[in-house]
């Protein structure tokens, strides 16, 4: 059986050597406030530069979020991208890479899925933010349990003063246990569960700059006993009471409605109609 070090073209082969995998596993398991590992120089340098230089324009991205808890864009239309994006997705979906993730995380039987719930790109311009949240736990239309996130940042000239660090908060939302700057070619692998709170604060960047990342999500077969919940936002301790109240009401209502839609098999219809209309690219809607 080929190892990823033998078949990879885009990811630096050194990360998949046995001694390095062992080190990454130790770093992942000791990650605080929940299991995670940061890998700098994850991709071949030329590959990272190509992805950065050919990242899709913000206005061309399909889905745009602009609400009380998030302002960013998302897209997974790889057929419209530079071929390197699809090649990276394929490498991150390969069986050798899944085995690599299983070794690091200790989670067996990892798999992927197609579409935006499997992989894609995120981008945010000046003022973008993604409040602290946990991810949805069960795929809305397939029997899959979300377990691991892989984020690859593609920001070549990012500065500390821009903000936008990936914040990782503790289970009680009392303190930020880790914060990672979204610099070019930095990969963050982390477990996603009911206490893996993460997000980023509002960024302040010059015109023409944006926070860019490539994402891939990984799943295992879903056990029947787990109760579905959607992405659930929480507020930081120092945020205004008005925002805290609005967030609690919104998230409680959203999760109740989404559970009902999933129970009655209507969530896919909702995503393709009402949700798509609410988040569509305003440029394309005109």
Q: What is the pLDDT of residue 280?
A: 64
Instruction: Look at residue 286 and tell me if it is in a domain.
Output: no
- Supply the range of the domain harboring residue 217: 4-281
- Contact yes or no for 33/178 (Cβ under 8 A): yes
283 confidence band (pLDDT: 50, 70, 90)? very low
Instruction: Look at residue 154 and tell me if it is in a domain.
Output: yes
The secondary element (H helix, E strand) that includes residue 19 is helix 18-29
The C-alpha atoms of residue 70 and residue 274 are separated, in whole angstroms, by: 18
The tokens for 256 are 């109740």
Decide if pLDDT at 275 tops 90: no
Q: What is the pLDDT of residue 274?
A: 64
Q: Of the candidates 112, 84, 76, which has an alpha carbon nearest to the alpha carbon of residue 9?
A: 84
The answer, as to whether pTM is greater than 0.85, is yes
Q: Which residues pair with 280 in a beta bridge?
A: 63
Instruction: Look at residue 260 and tell me if it is in a domain.
Output: yes
What CATH number did the domain enclosing 52 receive? Answer: 2.60.120.620
Q: How high is the mean pLDDT of the chain?
A: 93
pLDDT digits (tens, 9 = 90+) for 156-214: 999 999 999 999 999 999 999 999 999 999 999 999 999 999 999 999 999 999 999 99
The secondary element (H helix, E strand) that includes residue 98 is helix 95-105
Instruction: Look at residue 209 and tell me if it is in a domain.
Output: yes
Please count the structural domains in the chain: 1
Q: Of the candidates 227, 270, 214, which has an alpha carbon nearest to the alpha carbon of residue 56?
A: 214
């Amino acid at each position: 059986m080929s190892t990823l070090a033998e078949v990879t073209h885009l990811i630096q082969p050194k990360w998949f050597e046995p001694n390095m995998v062992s080190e990454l596993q130790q770093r992942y398991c000791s990650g605080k406030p929940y299991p995670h590992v940061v890998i700098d120089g994850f991709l071949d340098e030329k590959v990272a530069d190509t992805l950065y230089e050919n990242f899709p324009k913000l206005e061309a991205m399909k889905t745009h979020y602009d609400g009380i808890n998030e302002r960013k864009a998302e897209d997974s239309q790889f057929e419209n991208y530079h071929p390197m994006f699809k090649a990276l997705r394929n490498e991150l979906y390969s069986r050798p890479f899944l085995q690599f993730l299983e070794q690091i995380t200790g989670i067996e039987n990892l798999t992927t899925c197609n579409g935006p719930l499997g992989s894609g790109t995120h981008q945010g311009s000046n003022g973008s933010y993604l409040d602290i949240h946990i991810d949805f736990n069960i795929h809305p239309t397939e029997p899959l349990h979300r377990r691991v996130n892989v984020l690859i940042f593609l920001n070549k000239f990012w500065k500390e003063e821009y903000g936008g660090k990936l914040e990782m908060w503790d289970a009680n939302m009392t303190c930020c246990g880790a914060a990672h700057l979204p610099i070019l070619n930095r990969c963050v692998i982390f477990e996603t569960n009911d206490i893996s709170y993460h997000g980023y604060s509002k960024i302040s960047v010059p015109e023409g700059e944006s926070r860019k990342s490539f994402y891939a999500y990984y799943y295992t077969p879903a056990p029947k006993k787990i109760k579905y919940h959607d992405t659930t936002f929480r507020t930081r301790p120092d945020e205004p009471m008005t925002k805290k109240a609005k967030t609690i009401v919104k998230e409680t209502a959203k999760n109740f409605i989404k559970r009902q839609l999933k129970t009655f098999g209507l969530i896919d219809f909702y995503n393709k109609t009402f949700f798509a209309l609410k988040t569509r690219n305003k440029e394309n809607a005109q």
